[in-house]
């Protein structure tokens, strides 16, 4: 009854290919659940429209001159969108998969846990990329916000390091949340207050004390690095080294958390 033996045996190449297939299956499952797919895209777009309605036409006075508020909130919303599609989405879906026993079932198959998680991360980053493109296109078409070619490296660096950092912690944090019902509360607690002091939603001249606190956490560095790349007065490549450094440190923390989670993905 068996259809015979596969020509190959275990190898890194085969595991990478398995991770690639996993991206495909995860994507298929994601887009097939239309309500989930539509609304996870709609959230950042909706915020974009709301903030544009409130602030369109206003300007922010900066050290080099006034910039349009649009050039501030488009990257801010983009930062929020990245956090939502990577950190929030990963933490929520992973804890639900654990609760439902999907992770346990996967742990019983020969697929290495790292290949499975790599596939899920790959799928998440695809979704993040798609969301980024949608926000950038709307920002450009509707509000005329563009990134100059010169500061494009800064934008890409912030996108890549920021997404990796938030994705890793999204997976890793599940290790510390005992049940899926607690996850939304924990995630909101970890994200929402910080977005308000991190200059994601509005530009404010908050006291330096609060800004110093926000600088330690990864949300402000991501938002700020993106805003820096979008700022028409930014000179050079648009790379904000301090922000990327903080994001990179949080990426290392995230990878450690994720490694701990991967030791027993299905729980004890």
Phi, psi of 10 (to 5 degrees): -65, 140
Residue 237: exposure state from Cβ atoms within 10 A (0-12, 13-18, ≥19): middle
The smaller minimum CB distance to other proteins, of residues 33 and 188, is found at 33
Rule CB under 8 A: is residue 32 a binding residue for other proteins? yes
Reduced to 3 states (helix: H, G, I; strand: E, B; else coil), residue 215 is helix
Rule CB under 8 A: is residue 105 a binding residue for other proteins? yes
Question: Which residues 6+ apart lie within 8 Å of 243 measured at CB?
Answer: 158, 220, 221, 222, 224, 225, 228
In the set 77, 79, 90, 97, which binds other proteins (CB under 8 A)? Answer: 97
Q: Count residues binding other proteins (CB under 8 A).
A: 31
Rule CB under 8 A: is residue 39 a binding residue for other proteins? no
In the set 58, 100, 179, 242, which binds other proteins (CB under 8 A)? Answer: 100
Closest CA to 160 of 108, 226, 233: 226
Residue reference for tokens 């950038």: 136
In the set 3, 205, 208, 235, which binds other proteins (CB under 8 A)? Answer: 3
In the set 16, 33, 50, 182, which binds other proteins (CB under 8 A)? Answer: 33
Cα 157 to Cα 149: distance, rounded to the nearest angstrom: 14
Rule CB under 8 A: is residue 21 a binding residue for other proteins? yes
Q: Select from 29-37, 48-56, 64-72, 153-161 the region that touches other proteins (CB under 8 A).
A: 29-37
Nearest approach in angstroms of CB 168 to other proteins is 22
């Amino acid at each position: 009854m068996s259809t015979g033996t596969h020509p190959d045996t275990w190898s890194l190449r085969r595991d990478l290919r398995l991770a690639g297939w996993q991206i495909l299956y995860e994507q298929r499952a994601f887009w097939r659940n239309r309500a989930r797919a539509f609304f996870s895209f709609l959230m950042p777009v909706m915020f974009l429209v709301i903030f544009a309605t409130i602030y369109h036409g206003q300007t922010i006075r900066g050290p080099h001159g006034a910039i349009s508020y649009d050039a501030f909130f488009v990257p801010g919303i983009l930062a929020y969108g990245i956090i939502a599609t990577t950190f929030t989405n990963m933490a929520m879906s992973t804890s639900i998969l654990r609760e439902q026993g999907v992770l346990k079932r996967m742990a019983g198959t020969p697929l290495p846990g790292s290949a499975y998680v790599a596939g899920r991360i790959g799928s998440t980053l695809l979704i993040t990329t798609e969301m980024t493109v949608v926000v950038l296109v709307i920002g450009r078409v509707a509000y005329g916000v563009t990134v100059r070619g010169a500061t494009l490296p800064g934008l890409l660096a912030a996108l890549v390091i920021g997404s990796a950092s938030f994705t890793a912690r999204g997976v890793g944090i599940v290790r510390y949340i005992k049940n899926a019902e607690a996850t939304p509360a924990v995630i909101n607690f970890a994200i929402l207050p910080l977005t308000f002091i991190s200059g994601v939603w509005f530009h404010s001249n908050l006291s330096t004390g609060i800004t110093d606190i926000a600088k330690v956490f990864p949300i402000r560095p991501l938002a700020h690095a993106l805003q820096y790349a979008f700022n028409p007065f930014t000179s050079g490549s648009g790379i904000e080294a301090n922000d990327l450094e903080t994001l990179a440190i949080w990426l290392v923390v995230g990878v450690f958390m994720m490694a701990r989670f991967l030791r027993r993905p299905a729980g004890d």
